[in-house]
Structure 1
Amino acid sequence: MGRCKGRLLGALVLFSVLALSACGSNGASTKSSGSGSLDAATEAKLEDIVRRFQDTNRTPGVLVGMWSPKGTFVSATGVADLATEAPLRSDMQFKIASQTKTFTANLVLQLVGEGKVTLDDHISKWVKGVPNGDRITIRQLLNHTSGLADGFTSPTVQSKVQTGCTVAELLTAEAKFPPVAPPGTKWSYSNYGYNLLGRVVELAGGQDLSTALQQRIARPLGLRRTLLPTSGNGLSEPFTHGYGLGDVGPSQAPTASDDATDLPASCLWAHGGMVSTLSDMRVWSRALATGELLEPAVWAEATRNPIPFTFAGNYNGPGKWRYGLGFVESGGFIGGEGSFAGYESTAMYSPTRRTAIEVVSTKNPNAITPPPMFQALAMAVYGTDIGFGLTPEQALAPTFKGAAG
């Protein structure tokens, strides 16, 4: 679900968040209600959930947004920089990590709608040297049933995370890992698979991936600060720092020395390299969940028979989750999730409820992760009978112990 998994230098995890208390001079919260406020009781519930999330994880900053017919709730809690104690703001840019996968997948599906790619194409048609490449289809890469290894844990890739990777280096290193299962037999999260899809976008569409994202998604939707960097970390002012270096634990507060903000994006590329903002991801989550940029027949195929899955380490909590062709789904909400050193996030949208919910944390790892946090927020507004397969208390239980491959 849009996650980049693994550790770098013992603590660089592909989901990220920050840590501190939700209260005090550096833990102040700012919120705006937008047009149409939630009732006082519901807003108090949401504030309590945010407080519990931050107190348990000890994350320096938490961004939360909910936009629904029942009202709007936007909250920025904590600090954006532990060194300067600058307050977190809701307009700040952050790394979205594996939520990048939803963008990459959408580009592939656009090309399917244009007849330039088919879901039954074997990846060997586009990229040579892929293990089982003559048996793995584009569809299987999209829903993580290719059987390919994760790839990001490659020692070659990990050794370059702090300095940067080329696409050729990524694909060459990741191809050296033996498959974990025959194609089509098992759900197994693969960052390598999404880097292959990024290359398909470039070869079939005739543009580099960063340009394709701008021309095909960001500009049509008016996403002003959403991009795949071509150098550096991609962040521009105002942005929030993220913390995930060192040995910070899921319930441990980081220090300024744990700042992971400067890590470049190139070793994550198509599977996790993008940056965005709360407001941009609100727009994107709706477009993603409604198939706005896709041909109707392609979107129908993308949403047909999503696959139940469980992330290693109980990352998504005990609730029900399914994976479609490039997105996660739970209780009728569709979206993505991402985690990399310094940042963890999820952005989900329910077409039937016309509701977008986003959670961003600026520390990684966290004991309560953004996916079950999103479920807790949704249940606070719509009740427990949503179909998440868990209770509010279960959603807020500190169950994640740290990165798992």
Structure 2
Amino acid sequence: MVATLLMLGVVGTVGFAVGKRAQPQIRKSQPVTPLKLKPSTAVPMDLRQYLPKKQFSGVAALYRNGKRVATLAQGQATTQALNTPATMFEIDSVQKSLTAGLVMHEAMQGKLHLHDKLHQYFPQIPGSETITIRQLLDMDSGLSVHGSFMNREYVDDQTTVDRLITKLRYSSAMNGQGYYQAANYVVLVGILMKVTGQSYQTLVENQYIKPLHLAHTRFAYDRDVAGVAQGHYWGKHGVTDATIANTTHAQQHQELGTGQLMMSIDDLYTVESALLSGRLVGGRNASALLFAPGSLSTYGGGMYQNGPYRSANGFGYGFECFLRITQSGRDAVIVMSNCSVPKAVNEVASDKIAQAWLTH
């Protein structure tokens, strides 16, 4: 039973961006946008061996000792612009590691504790007397969503949290077991808003965007779309006839803390490196505590803790994002795509690159 549940990447019937493989359905009614391919950029380690031009539209990069040392850019961000290292892609569920970092920051400030029971913040949630903040971070709380909480109209973040809470179900048998449910992180955002009195966007701006001088980071619902890629789904002939992935601002708002951010490849590396080094969460010991394997799936603090490096995956709305980074945050592989490819082609390629780059 546990093994079956661990394979789930979707939250009930909710349209969350996800961190496990879940291929979106193509909307045949959407217009087709031809994607022209830009010649690959030559790199010391030939990324074209792993991400061939017929299957990849996006940007991939290798980092060594805190610096980007190799880059591959292919395809078009939009019909008017090519993909470049400055292009912003939706990072989907990779964002959960940033949400976890915000939680750890407040823990270091003494505003909450990882062993706090959920009952202290939301006593109306079933099972809240036994669930801890740590379990929410590690997705082994036993919570799941019954039906969809998303609404066609967005009101505000608190309403989003309140709607989610009414849809939560608790399984005592799954408490302590790894069960991928993005709802855990929406609840964490609700806790953050309670203890800080600030919105999630304000927290992201004050803890990440401003101090790290992130020039190519936006919320997906931001009206400023300059430099932002358009997501696509794989077409009949691959990338060249990919189908546009349309999302509403209401959807983007309600991916609260779980899949709202558009980032360039360097901005994403800057944040993740700073989190793992401890610069943003109170030191290396705090980082090691946050990003420790919590559940049977090794998921902890928004990342999978596997072998010599840590990883995070994002899928949704025509985008894919794969982060593979060492525990020090110094070396990394990042692959960001604006065309969702079937059969996990980009994910498999990312793992192969990571094996070659991060384990030798």
Give TM class, smaller chain.
0.7 to 0.9
Paired with 2:262 and 2:329, the residues of 1 have a C-alpha distance of 27
Identity of aligned residues (%): 19
Question: In 2 relative to 1, CA 331–372 (structure 1 residues): closer, same or farther, beyond 3 Å?
Answer: farther
Quick one: which of 69, 72, 75 aligns to 1:75?
72
Paired with 1:4 and 1:333, the residues of 2 have a C-alpha distance of 22
Quick one: which of 317, 321, 327 aligns to 2:303?
327
1:189 matched to 2:180? The reply is: yes
Paired with 2:207 and 2:305, the residues of 1 have a C-alpha distance of 23
Aligned to 1:312: none
Paired with 1:253 and 1:68, the residues of 2 have a C-alpha distance of 30
The question of whether the paired residues in 1 share the 8 Å contact of 2:131 and 2:141 is answered with yes
SS in 2 for 1:346: strand
SS in 2 for 1:118: coil
Q: Residues 217-275 of structure 1: CA distance to partner in whole angstroms, max 9, x if unpaired? A: 2222222232445xx3566211111024xxx5899558465332655411201122122
Shift of 1:332: 2.3
Shift of 1:137: 0.5
Structure 1 residues 284-299: aligned runs within 5 Å:
284-296=271-283, 297-299=285-287
1:205 matched to 2:222? The reply is: no
Paired with 1:251 and 1:186, the residues of 2 have a C-alpha distance of 41
Aligned to 2:126: 131
Aligned to 2:337: 361
Question: In 2 relative to 1, CA 183–250 (structure 1 residues): closer, same or farther, beyond 3 Å?
Answer: farther
Paired with 2:171 and 2:196, the residues of 1 have a C-alpha distance of 30
Point out where structure 2 has 5 or more consecutive residues left out of the alignment. 1-5, 27-33
The question of whether the paired residues in 2 share the 8 Å contact of 1:249 and 1:366 is answered with no
Instruction: Tell me the matched-pair count.
Output: 339
SS in 1 for 2:271: helix
Structure 1 residue identity aligned to 2:344: I
Aligned to 2:111: 116
Structure 1 residue identity aligned to 2:164: E
Shift of 1:378: 2.1
Structure 1 residue identity aligned to 2:179: S
Structure 1 residues 369-384: aligned runs within 5 Å:
370-381=346-357
1:65 matched to 2:52? The reply is: no
Structure 2 residue identity aligned to 1:188: Y
Paired with 2:194 and 2:312, the residues of 1 have a C-alpha distance of 25
Quick one: which of 220, 225, 230 aligns to 2:216?
225
The question of whether the paired residues in 1 share the 8 Å contact of 2:277 and 2:329 is answered with no
Q: TM-score, normalised by structure 2?
A: 0.81
SS in 2 for 1:75: strand
Q: TM-score, normalised by structure 1?
A: 0.73
Q: Which has the higher strand share?
A: 2
Structure 1 residues 5-404: aligned runs within 5 Å:
5=10, 14=18, 26-31=36-41, 38=44, 43-44=45-46, 46-51=47-52, 55=54, 58-59=55-56, 61-68=57-64, 72-81=69-78, 84=79, 86-149=81-144, 151=145, 154-157=147-150, 160=152, 163-164=153-154, 166-175=156-165, 176-182=167-173, 184-228=175-219, 232=221, 236-244=225-233, 253=239, 255=241, 257-260=243-246, 264-296=251-283, 297-309=285-297, 322-351=298-327, 354-364=330-340, 366-368=342-344, 370-381=346-357
Point out where structure 1 has 5 or more consecutive residues left out of the alignment. 310-321, 387-405
Paired with 1:275 and 1:353, the residues of 2 have a C-alpha distance of 21
Paired with 1:32 and 1:97, the residues of 2 have a C-alpha distance of 28
Paired with 2:154 and 2:84, the residues of 1 have a C-alpha distance of 29
Structure 1 residue identity aligned to 2:316: F
Q: Residues 3-59 of structure 1: CA distance to partner in whole angstroms, max 9, x if unpaired? A: 9736989x9864789x9xxxx9922234375xxxx2xxxx33x211010xx54xx45
The question of whether the paired residues in 2 share the 8 Å contact of 1:357 and 1:378 is answered with yes
SS in 2 for 1:87: coil
Question: In 2 relative to 1, CA 167–4 (structure 1 residues): closer, same or farther, beyond 3 Å?
Answer: farther
Root mean square deviation of aligned Cα: 3.5
Question: In 2 relative to 1, CA 222–328 (structure 1 residues): closer, same or farther, beyond 3 Å?
Answer: farther
Paired with 1:12 and 1:215, the residues of 2 have a C-alpha distance of 25
Shift of 1:360: 0.9
SS in 1 for 2:143: coil
Q: Residues 83-130 of structure 1: CA distance to partner in whole angstroms, max 9, x if unpaired? A: x36422221112111112111110110111111101111112112421
Shift of 1:283: 0.7
